[in-house]
Amino acid sequence: MEKLPKLTMDELNQKISSGNYVLFFTATWCGDCRFIKPFMPEIEADFPEYTFLKIDRDENLDLCQALDVMGIPSFIVYRNGKEAGRFVSKDRKTKEEVENFLKNIK
């Protein structure tokens, strides 16, 4: 999974303008993020149609605010620059919940 540096909304939009992406918002101090982290390689392998991008919430507060990401871990799916779905909350997420979310993206 590629970890994105601090970036602006314009830079993110340019990065995700073409293709299918899952943005994974996380932070080093987040216990619920550490809970899902070991499952991320399996989730990525189960959904090869997506490129997974890890975004550190603390490095990208402005970006999180612009995207209305108030809780972590959170996931936002983009297809060709357009948001296709989001699983955004402050709650712990299980591997099954993340996979069900990704399976149900229209």
Rounded to whole angstroms, the Cα distance separating 58 from 81 reads 23
Active-site choice (12, 16, 27, 33): 33
- Alpha-carbon torsion, ordered 85, 86, 87, 88, to 10 deg: -170
> Is 30 one of the catalytic residues?
yes
* Residue 64 falls in the annotated catalytic set: no
- Which member of 4, 22, 23, 30 is catalytic? 30
Which residues have a catalytic role annotated? Answer: 30, 33
